[in-house]
Structure 1
Amino acid sequence: MHSVLHDKLREDAERLSEALEHMSKLFLAPKEQKSLRSFATPEVAELLRVSDGYLRKAHFDDRIPEVEQGANNKRLYTAENIIEIRHILAQNAKDPLQFLPGRRPGDKLQIWSTVNFKGGSSKTTTTISLGMRLAMRGYRVLLLDSDPQASLTTFFGYQPEIDFRKGGTLYDAIRYNDGDSVRVPIVDVLKKTYFPNLDIVPGGIMLSEFETETPMALSRGEQPVFFNRIRDSLRQVEDDYDIVLIDCPPQLGYLTMSAVCASTSLLMTIIPERVDLASASQFLTMASGVLEVLHTNGGIGAYDNFAYLLTRFDTAISTQQDLSEWMRELLGDSVIKTPFVKSSAVSEAGLSQKTIFEVDLSAVKNRKTYERALESVIGFSNDIEIMIQKSWGRGVSNET
């Protein structure tokens, strides 16, 4: 029996850390070598918003470079190939936005925070899946992990408790000054990923210090105040991205409020179950009061969107179907049209720290399950893409 609790917790933490490191070596390539799979012609055509025939003819006419060929002489495109082809096709396109849909002069940086009062609502999986989809669609995307648990960060092969033990996370960019320890520019902690067009600001356990340090900083009047810290940091890289996605911790603390105040839109993930809807109601009630105070003090302004995404949606459960319809009647267009379905394909991908987009298709056992999950993620991502384009004052077609 342990004499003190902290010794027990320290020993268990060390055991778990060692086991996680071993697991990473078994299931993951080193982060410097982790790579993205290649994509087939139908996938690339959909990403470019063209038909398969258009893409094949562009190759035949030598308008775009040839790519690697796999089995049966089928073309395989890397993410870098897709980016190169985007820029080539945009040069002579009637509508360059079809291929390069990102910001134009005058368009504001789109900052979306994913929020929920409780864990388990697929916040992180939603954020990273949406980020990867938007990156593949031609946007420059920055993921920001503001959760001390840093689940988003681990998707990229990092072990935050080991790799960022001495710093290198969002905390360093928003922390309060303390002697020789001062906050750093966000570019100092920003990481390029193996996924083109997609960068990340890692999270880590030190972010929990922000929660405990903020009351003291408020009492001594340190500037900028907490709700401006993420917003001010992002201004340093505003010109480098079209979209920033922030994965918030499952609570309404100072980190979440700082992310909310930096955002142009909010995405709330909700499982269509009674207990989750009750929790969502409590979150909204509490958030409305807190945000009213922040608004009064200049911390929060107008929003482009506050959207709800139904997650872990099981079409086989009638009560979920009923509750989803009830929510749509109650909240209208605020509920995103396409739900994020519950799927073993998503869960199995997550076990090896991958999203549905990274799965090796040759290893897929149940193709129908995979395709259904992929259709769901593409669907809600397209719905959000349309909302982003509308925020820039233009529409977007998801038809090829």
Structure 2
Amino acid sequence: MTGTVHINTRIRQNAETLAAALEGHMHKIFAPDARKELRLFSAGEAAELLGISTSFLRKLHFDDKAPEVHTSPGGRRHYSADDLLELRRILEANAKTRGAYQRGRRDGDKLQVLSFLNFKGGSGKTTSAVHSAQRLALKGYRVLCVDIDPQASLTTLFGYRPEYDFLNSGTIYDAIRYDDPVALEDVIQKTYFTGIDLAPGGLMLQEFEHETPQALINHAQPPFFARLATALRDVEQNYDVVIFDCPPQLGYLTMAALCASTGVLITVVPNMLDVASMSQFLQMSADLLDVVSNAGASMEFDFMRFLINRYEPNDGPQQQVLAFLRQLFDDEVMVAPMLKSTAISDAGLTHQTIYEVDRAQFHRNTYDRALDSLNLVNDEIESMIQKAWGR
């Protein structure tokens, strides 16, 4: 019949067209061989991240107790993330209370492993995970991001092109596969963001979902639910926090992440369709985790929280849904919701986050509202980590 096209041919054409367009988009944003770079931070931003006043920061420079930093022709100081780490070290050395400025793990503290997950796509899972990782890194924590989503959005946000850079190897799959796995340290990538390393994701992760049923029949060791936890053991001394960005489905990868986690953050958009979907997700999770628990998996979390995402404070129905969730789950719903913001979505157009973009590129009030919202959310997560360490 004239004009008919096989659906597989059409899909392949569309895939190739889109891949070429995305490649062109990436070349516009970054030079072909360039990697992303983290911007400098103003004195006000640096002081806020360090937990000191701008006047005290100025005094450190006046007393020659601070490192030399980039200074604009107008005399304004700008700080790199490495400058912030050096300032933390100086402040901690002179602090009256241990851990006032360097708040990461101490001897005896267990690695904090956080899973960001939801059954439903579009719940802001990756956005939440990357902003949390970056805020923690800027506050001096050593963070490992592990992208276990085959779509690899988190990996893309760190300036990689998974379909080119990690097409056949180099992802977290290599460290958890059943056939000749490599050490996790062999797939971890340093990122442009000081304090954050990345175990990339990519399409190869689908192989783990396909191979696990056969591995279960063959009684492969360690079992699927322990493979991420086992891989982490070799590198855990290098990090304070690990963040898993999970796929939007309840498969073997998500269950393996849950079994390796000390904390779980379930992102939920406050509308009834999403809440209904989350209800199914929780029921399925409970049933499946019962099975792996009976098989010997550890199921002890320091905390589990619902993170309200894409929240619009002036939306009446959303307010009702949020009140409904708080009534049901009380303090398991995080105090701070993450606001829906054009600043966050606009930053995403260039594969950036609010912490990376320059405030001058946005309407000041829009940017400040988004930033304040993110800081409240991520500082609440930090407080849960600190509490888990007994502080």
TM-score range for the pair, normalised by the shorter chain length:
over 0.9
The corresponding residue for 2:210 is: 212
Pick from 69, 74, 83 the counterpart of residue 72 of structure 1: 74
Are 1:17 and 2:19 an aligned pair? yes
CA drift of 1:209 comes to 1.1
Q: Deviations over 1:35-85 (max 9, x none)?
A: 111111111111111111111111111111231112531111011111111
Are 1:368 and 2:365 an aligned pair? yes
Are 1:307 and 2:301 an aligned pair? no
CA drift of 1:4 comes to 3.9
Task: Write out aligned runs for 1:1-400 (5 A).
Answer: 1=3, 4-30=6-32, 32-70=34-72, 72-177=74-179, 182-364=180-362, 366-394=363-391
- Residue type matched to 1:131 in 2? A
- Residue type matched to 2:290 in 1? E
Q: Which runs of 5+ in 1 are unaligned?
A: 395-400
* Distance change in 2, residues 1:301/1:31 (3 Å): farther
- Residue type matched to 1:106 in 2? G
Q: Which runs of 5+ in 2 are unaligned?
A: none
Measure, in 2, the Cα distance between the counterparts of 1:79 and 1:152. Answer: 20
Q: Deviations over 1:196-235 (max 9, x none)?
A: 0001010001111111110011111111110011111111
TM-score (norm 1): 0.95
- Bigger mean CA offset, 136-145 vs 353-362: 353-362
Measure, in 2, the Cα distance between the counterparts of 1:71 and 1:374. Answer: 27
- Bigger mean CA offset, 88-97 vs 34-43: 88-97
- Bigger mean CA offset, 153-162 vs 63-72: 63-72
The percentage of counterpart residues that share the same residue type is 49
C-alpha contact (below 8 Å) 1:28/1:352 kept by paired residues:
no
CA drift of 1:28 comes to 2.8
* Distance change in 2, residues 1:31/1:373 (3 Å): farther
C-alpha contact (below 8 Å) 2:117/2:265 kept by paired residues:
yes
- Residue type matched to 1:136 in 2? L
- Residue type matched to 1:157 in 2? G
CA drift of 1:2 comes to 5.8
* Distance change in 2, residues 1:89/1:205 (3 Å): same
Q: Deviations over 1:223-255 (max 9, x none)?
A: 111001111111110100000000000011001
* Distance change in 2, residues 1:31/1:372 (3 Å): farther
* Distance change in 2, residues 1:238/1:107 (3 Å): same
CA drift of 1:298 comes to 1.2
Measure, in 1, the Cα distance between the counterparts of 2:107 and 2:217. Answer: 40
C-alpha contact (below 8 Å) 1:145/1:170 kept by paired residues:
yes
- Bigger mean CA offset, 156-165 vs 113-122: 156-165
- Bigger mean CA offset, 247-256 vs 31-40: 31-40
SS of alignment partner, residue 275 of structure 1: helix
Q: Deviations over 1:130-181 (max 9, x none)?
A: 000000001000000000000000001111111111210011111111xxxx
* Distance change in 2, residues 1:29/1:82 (3 Å): farther
CA drift of 1:12 comes to 2.2
